[in-house]
């Protein structure tokens, strides 16, 4: 009996020891695999020296999201000309390039977006134009390009003017009090109002609602969480991220964003149905981006699926408001910091508008100095500070260094725009850099706020037009003043933001003495 009584205990002990042994074996296998991947990555990057990296965390611990991360990138860019590797975790390495000659090599190709960082966008934005690859990307790009023809963009100018004037009306309280206020939240509402009116013929009334806009907050959360997930190595695992509190917050924010875009699509389909039944199709409104999405057909007369339409609406709802909000906010801040250039813009704008309270399509090409200031702000503060590609074949750069197929190339737009070997006094705001004679002396890949080549930003003309309208009407009404008590700290979270907001003061122009 004693023998039999002890048998279960021995069996249990044996099972526990097996479990521990198996767990140890799995852990060792994982470590061996990670080390092998790291060695493979180091061989890939052996021609490119870079800052020392922790074997497990890589350079993740170097970035604190405290407003100084971009300064660190620029410090390394000075130490390692043209390119240097960045490690995120033990096995993921990205070749960070920051010189026009290197950028030209990658952006003149059709190499796809990398399938590592961009895959974190898919649960939010779907397989839209931002993240799609191959034939699907080519097909969608071809089908959507008519949505950005100047005949489509032309009526948008009045709509953006209307949205801007609503924002400026709300600023009257700050003009009277002289108190500092945070720009980004105001501009985000204005650009969201503009994109819903222009691209989707939908009046959101988001600027006049008293409560906080849930879509704006959702986009902010999603950008933060995508950035966080990329930086935290365990979150690269879909399962771990899904089970984490951050994964729950991401899914909640994505539902809010999807509900918003679903409402826009549903509303438009109802309008189209009524228009078709009453025979008044498009008679009372202009053709817009959503019209083109719904009616687009390829050479086989095949349109976009409902899933594709939602992905593209999600993509353009985000990219059409958040990136332009960043660009406009930093533009206003840079003009506040450089009053002499602000005044030259104002003089030019007042002369062109000649007493009008709105901006017309024909006015957009009559403000060259203002346009140069917009470009200089985009140089110093690119709304998208970095993009990445994954090589489908080996690539050799102009200096003979080569990277193999599968390598991820990170294009540091911020680094290119402040590269001291390309730009004299790169941190100084100087719009004269964009005089035609000065532009002709530089590589066209020295200034790439909208990327370049086949995969450049399809909406760049819309974005530039919106920035011109916004700055023209703003400078006509207000003088922008720097707030020395609130200096923004730049932080790259998909788009360029400030960890402590972007604050300015304003003064009505007619009150100048």
pLDDT tens-place string over residues 18-74: 677 777 777 777 777 776 667 777 888 989 999 999 888 889 989 998 999 999 999
Is 178 inside a domain boundary? yes
Mapped onto helix, strand or coil, the DSSP state of residue 340 is helix
CA distances from 465 to 105, 150, 190, 196, 363 (A): 29, 11, 14, 16, 10
Alpha carbon distance 454, 148 (integer Å):
15
Domain around 324 = 44-508
pLDDT tens-place string over residues 234-266: 898 999 999 999 999 999 999 999 999 999 998
pLDDT tens-place string over residues 437-478: 999 999 999 999 999 999 999 999 999 999 999 999 999 999
- What's the whole-number mean pLDDT along residues 96-110? 97
Is 16 inside a domain boundary? no
Is 2 inside a domain boundary? no
Phi and psi angles of residue 160, each rounded to the nearest 5 degrees, phi first:
-65, -40
pLDDT tens-place string over residues 401-416: 999 999 999 999 999 9
Q: Tell me the Cα Rg of the chain.
A: 26
Is 338 inside a domain boundary? yes
Number of folded domains in the chain?
1
Is 513 inside a domain boundary? no
pLDDT of 280 reads 62
State yes or no: pLDDT of 14 exceeds 70.
no
Is 466 inside a domain boundary? yes
| CATH code for the domain in which residue 121 is found | 1.10.630.10
Is 20 inside a domain boundary? no
Q: Cite the DSSP H helix spans in 119-244.
A: 122-125, 134-144, 150-153, 156-170, 172-177, 183-200, 214-231, 238-243
**Whether this model's pTM surpasses 0.85:** yes
Residue 206 is labelled as binding a ligand: no
pLDDT of 91 reads 82
pLDDT of 1 reads 42
Is 7 inside a domain boundary? no
């Amino acid at each position: 009996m004693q023998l039999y009584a002890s048998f279960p205990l021995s069996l249990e002990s044996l099972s526990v020891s097996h479990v521990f042994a198996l767990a140890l074996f799995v852990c060792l296998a994982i470590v061996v695999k990670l080390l092998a991947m790291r060695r493979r990555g180091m061989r890939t990057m052996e021609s490119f020296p870079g800052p020392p990296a922790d074997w497990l965390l890589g350079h993740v611990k170097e970035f604190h999201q405290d407003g100084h991360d971009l300064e660190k990138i620029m410090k390394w860019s000075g130490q390692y000309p043209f390119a240097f590797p960045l490690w995120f975790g033990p096995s993921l390495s990205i070749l960070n390039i920051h010189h026009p000659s290197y950028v030209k090599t990658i952006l003149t190709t059709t190499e796809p977006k990398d399938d590592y960082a961009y895959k974190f966008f898919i649960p939010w934005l779907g397989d839209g134009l931002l993240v799609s690859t191959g034939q699907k990307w080519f097909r969608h790009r071809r089908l959507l390009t008519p949505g950005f023809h100047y005949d489509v963009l032309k009526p948008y100018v009045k709509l953006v003017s209307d949205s801007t004037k609503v924002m400026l009306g709300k600023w009257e309280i700050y003009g009277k009090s002289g108190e500092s206020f945070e720009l980004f939240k105001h501009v985000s509402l204005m650009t969201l109002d503009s994109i819903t009116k222009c691209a989707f013929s939908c009046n959101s009334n988001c600027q006049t609602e008293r409560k906080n806009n849930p879509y704006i907050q959702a986009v902010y959360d999603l950008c933060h969480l995508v950035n966080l997930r990329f930086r935290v190595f365990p979150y690269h695992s879909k399962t771990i991220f899904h089970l984490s509190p951050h994964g729950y917050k991401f899914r909640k924010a994505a539902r809010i964003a999807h509900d918003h875009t679903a409402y826009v699509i549903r509303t438009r389909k109802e309008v189209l149905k009524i228009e078709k039944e009453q025979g008044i199709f498009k008679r009372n409104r202009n053709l817009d981006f959503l019209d083109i999405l719904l009616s687009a057909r390829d050479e086989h007369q095949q349109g976009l699926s409902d899933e594709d339409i939602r992905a593209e609406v999600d993509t353009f709802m985000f990219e059409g408001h958040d990136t332009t909000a960043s660009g406009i906010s930093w533009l206003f801040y840079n003009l506040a910091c450089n009053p002499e250039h602000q005044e030259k813009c104002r003089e030019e704008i007042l002369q062109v508008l000649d007493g009008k309270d709105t901006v017309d399509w024909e006015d957009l090409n009559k403000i060259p100095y203002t346009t140069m200031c917009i470009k200089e702000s985009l140089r110093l503060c690119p709304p998208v500070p970095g993009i990445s590609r994954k090589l489908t074949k080996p690539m050799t750069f102009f200096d003979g260094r080569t990277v193999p197929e599968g390598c991820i190339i990170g294009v540091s737009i911020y680094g290119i725009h402040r590269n001291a070997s390309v730009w004299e006094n790169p941190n100084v705001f100087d719009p004269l850099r964009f005089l035609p004679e000065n532009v002709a002396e530089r590589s066209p890949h020295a200034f790439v706020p909208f990327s370049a080549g086949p995969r450049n930003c399809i909406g760049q003309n819309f974005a530039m037009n919106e920035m011109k309208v916004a700055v023209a009407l703003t400078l006509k009404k207000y003088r922008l003043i720097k707030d020395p008590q609130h200096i923004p700290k730049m932080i790259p979270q998909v788009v360029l933001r400030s960890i402590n907001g972007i604050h300015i003061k304003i003064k009505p122009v007619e009150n100048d003495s």
